[in-house]
Amino acid sequence: MSVLAIDKAIDKVPFLAESKNIKKTPLSGGITNLNFKVEADGRAYVIRPRRRRYRSTRYQA
């Protein structure tokens, strides 16, 4: 997930989109997704942007 994707996700949350000072930090530990800690106006939130496509992987024994 790119930084642009998190910016788009933030723009969809009205109170975050209106904030002037936003700090975005990627969080580790997500198995299938990338989560971000977003700090705005003295409060902290976690955002998990949706992926448009999910790929499935087939394993053969």
One-letter amino acid for residue 32 of the chain: T
pLDDT in tens, 32-55: 778 899 999 999 999 887 665 544
pLDDT of residue 45: 93
Two tokens at 14? Answer: 């009205």
Q: Which amino acid does the sequence have at 40?
A: A
Q: Is the pTM of this model over 0.75?
A: no
> What residue type is 35 in one-letter code?
N
Instruction: Locate 30 and state its tokens.
Output: 């997500």
CA proximity to 27, closest of 39, 17, 37, 18: 37
Q: What is the mean pLDDT of the chain?
A: 79
The predicted structure's pLDDT at residue 23:
94
> Under 8 Å CB-to-CB from 42, ≥6 apart: which residues?
none
